[in-house]
């Protein structure tokens, strides 16, 4: 549990989550501890709002992600170097199995939500939308 939010085991703050996150968004590797906390809290909130069955599927998929590379590389995902991790995830993304493609798509979406949902990201990428619209640009 984090505060009032239920977080399934293996979802957050686990080596596999951060290992995938730094592949999906390479800049995440430069986040400071407080920024990781912010990103993971966003993901935790989103996960907590989903049905328990979905939360369990996510936890299971992250476990599969961690151990699956053992078959090919004799190492867990979180122990692979970035190049091999990226290659593995790219293969997963193109997998003939809808289950694997969909699982990776879900994890990728959560990571992107955590990273690009941070208010600070707007300044980093140059997104400048303002409720005042045109007036704010003059």
Q: Which residues bind another protein (CB under 8 A)?
A: 23-27, 42, 46, 49-50, 86, 89-90, 93-94, 98, 101-102, 105-106, 108-109, 112-113, 115-117, 119, 121-122, 124-137
CA atoms within 13 A of residue 115's CA, in its CB half-sphere: 22
Measured between its terminal Cα atoms, the distance across the chain in Å is 47
Distance of CA 6 to the CA centre of its chain: 17
Question: In the bound complex, what is the minimum distance in angstroms from residue 75's beta carbon to another protein?
Answer: 20
**Whether 1 contacts 7, CB under 8 Å:** yes
Question: In the bound complex, what is the minimum distance in angstroms from residue 123's beta carbon to another protein?
Answer: 11
Question: In the bound complex, what is the minimum distance in angstroms from residue 94's beta carbon to another protein?
Answer: 7
Which CB sits closer to another protein, 18 or 108? 108
Question: In the bound complex, what is the minimum distance in angstroms from residue 9's beta carbon to another protein?
Answer: 22
Which CB sits closer to another protein, 10 or 23? 23
Q: Which residue has the tokens 């619209």?
A: 133
Helix/strand/coil (H, E, C) string of 11-34?
CCCCHHHHHHHHHHCHHHHHCCHH
Which CB sits closer to another protein, 71 or 125? 125
């Amino acid at each position: 549990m984090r505060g009032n939010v239920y977080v399934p085991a293996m979802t957050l703050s686990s080596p596999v989550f951060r290992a995938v996150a730094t592949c999906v968004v390479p800049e995440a590797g430069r986040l400071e501890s407080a920024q990781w906390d912010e990103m993971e809290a966003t993901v935790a909130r989103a996960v907590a709002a989903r049905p328990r069955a979905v939360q369990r599927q996510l936890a299971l998929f992250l476990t599969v992600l961690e151990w699956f590379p053992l078959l090919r590389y004799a190492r867990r995902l979180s122990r692979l170097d970035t190049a091999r991790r990226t290659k593995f995830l790219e293969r997963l993304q193109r997998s003939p199995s809808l289950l694997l493609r969909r699982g990776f798509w879900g994890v990728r979406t959560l990571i992107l939500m955590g990273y690009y949902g941070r208010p600070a990201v707007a300044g980093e990428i140059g997104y400048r939308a303002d409720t005042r619209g045109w007036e704010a640009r003059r």
